[in-house]
Amino acid sequence: METTAGSGQPHGVAFGASGNFSPDAVAASLARGDGGFGRAQETYYDHPILRKAHWRWEIVGYFFVGGASAGSAALASFASQSDDPGDRRLVRNARYTALIGSALSGALLVKDLGRPERFLNMLRIVKLKSPMSVGVYALSSFSTVAGIEAVRQARADGVVPVDPFGWIPPALIAPVKAISTALMASYTGVLISATAIPVWYRGRRHIPAIFVLSGVAAGAALQNVLLALTGPPTATSRKLEIVETVAALAEAALLLHYERAAGEAGNALFAGPRGSKLKTWTLGVGTALPLLLSLPSLVRPGAHNKPHRVRTLLTAACALAGGYVLREAMVYAGRDSADDPRAYLRHPE
């Protein structure tokens, strides 16, 4: 174990010859029962060196809703390329979801900040160096595009009489949509990875990708729920299940790789009750179970393996629960990692 105390040869004349700071001296001190005199001072009374963010359920919820909205928006784009009439219902649902999701995202952020006008403080500057600033513009442009597309959809559905954004050429919207959706799905992962918190920065090569994959899986699951609730099962459901399965499997693989790469610094996320919960829900209920449930229809898309409404709902609910637990574990692990001075001392980058 690479501890700073382990190599802590006492230096300087004031330290005497007894070796106050070696683990042996601590063991000796404990054996003497002198109540901590002569104990190794690897840290200062074990007080945290770093400080944790105040983020709680609002931010967990924002990470989850934002990811699922971005996933839904992406699915709307993919499905709009298809010529299968069955996919049109998905496009419509996904467009409305993206708008509702981005509005909810904004509301959760405002709830975290305390007052609505505080959101505007972030719009006074553009700062590419700050992932939070990049994220605000990603969210703003994502919401704008989601709004435009939802209005267009409503026009096509005959809900609104005119499309006030009709003059905006699709060629202008497409690139903005692609970039803002990709950032919307990934920036929250960048945001936490680029901090001084060991469990987070150790996962900088994994967390943003895990968030993207989890967002796509959640988006696909959500759309499957909506499809199942709004009409008879179609082949679209199976396509969504394929996307969801690929995303969830890749996510699980990355999560396991992250655990190995992070080593001891990953304890805040992977060890103890939080680790068990993460593995049970995200890997078990969120990935393995849906895979088992949808396996029959994925491998043998025959007549008697048609998408089934109850099974679809169950699969999707599992995937959504796994996605939420992932975001929650990630946010709260950062709090514990900040509180553990040893994580920072032993795992500098």
Interacting positions 103-142 with other proteins (CB under 8 A): 112-114, 118-119, 121-122, 124-125, 127, 129-133, 135-136
Task: Write each residue from 12 to 31 as x if it is in contact with other proteins (CB under 8 A), else as -, in one continuous string.
Answer: xxxxxxx-x-----------
Q: Does 57 bind other proteins (CB under 8 A)?
A: no
Interacting positions 258-317 with other proteins (CB under 8 A): none
Give ∠ CA 225-226-229 in degrees, rounded to 5.
85
As a three-state string, the secondary structure of 65-96 is: HHHHHHHHHHHHHHHHHCCCHHHHHHHHHHHH
With respect to other proteins, which residue has the nearer C-beta, 42 or 150? 42
Question: Measured from the CB of residue 161, what is the shortest distance to other proteins in angstroms?
Answer: 30
With respect to other proteins, which residue has the nearer C-beta, 213 or 228? 213
The residue from 54, 161, 170, 299 that contacts other proteins (CB under 8 A) is: 54
Interacting positions 200-239 with other proteins (CB under 8 A): 200-201, 204-213, 216, 239
Q: Does 56 bind other proteins (CB under 8 A)?
A: no
Q: Does 52 bind other proteins (CB under 8 A)?
A: yes
The residue from 106, 189, 233, 307 that contacts other proteins (CB under 8 A) is: 189
Interacting positions 154-183 with other proteins (CB under 8 A): 178, 181-182
The residue from 55, 100, 264, 305 that contacts other proteins (CB under 8 A) is: 55
By CB atoms closer than 10 A (0-12, 13-18, 19+), residue 59 is buried
Return the range that interacts with other proteins (CB under 8 A); candidates 92-100, 191-199, 265-273, 285-293.
191-199
Question: Measured from the CB of residue 141, what is the shortest distance to other proteins in angstroms?
Answer: 15
Question: Measured from the CB of residue 164, what is the shortest distance to other proteins in angstroms?
Answer: 29
Question: Measured from the CB of residue 21, what is the shortest distance to other proteins in angstroms?
Answer: 8
Question: Measured from the CB of residue 136, what is the shortest distance to other proteins in angstroms?
Answer: 6
Question: Measured from the CB of residue 158, what is the shortest distance to other proteins in angstroms?
Answer: 25
Return the range that interacts with other proteins (CB under 8 A); candidates 70-78, 259-267, 273-281, 286-294.
70-78
Question: Measured from the CB of residue 177, what is the shortest distance to other proteins in angstroms?
Answer: 12
Q: Are 314 and 323 in contact (CB under 8 A)?
A: no
Q: Does 79 bind other proteins (CB under 8 A)?
A: yes
With respect to other proteins, which residue has the nearer C-beta, 9 or 162? 9
The residue from 65, 73, 94, 191 that contacts other proteins (CB under 8 A) is: 191
Return the range that interacts with other proteins (CB under 8 A); candidates 38-46, 95-103, 272-280, 281-289.
38-46
Q: Are 262 and 199 in contact (CB under 8 A)?
A: yes
Q: Are 59 and 22 in contact (CB under 8 A)?
A: no
Task: Determine the residue type at 182.
Answer: A
By CB atoms closer than 10 A (0-12, 13-18, 19+), residue 69 is buried
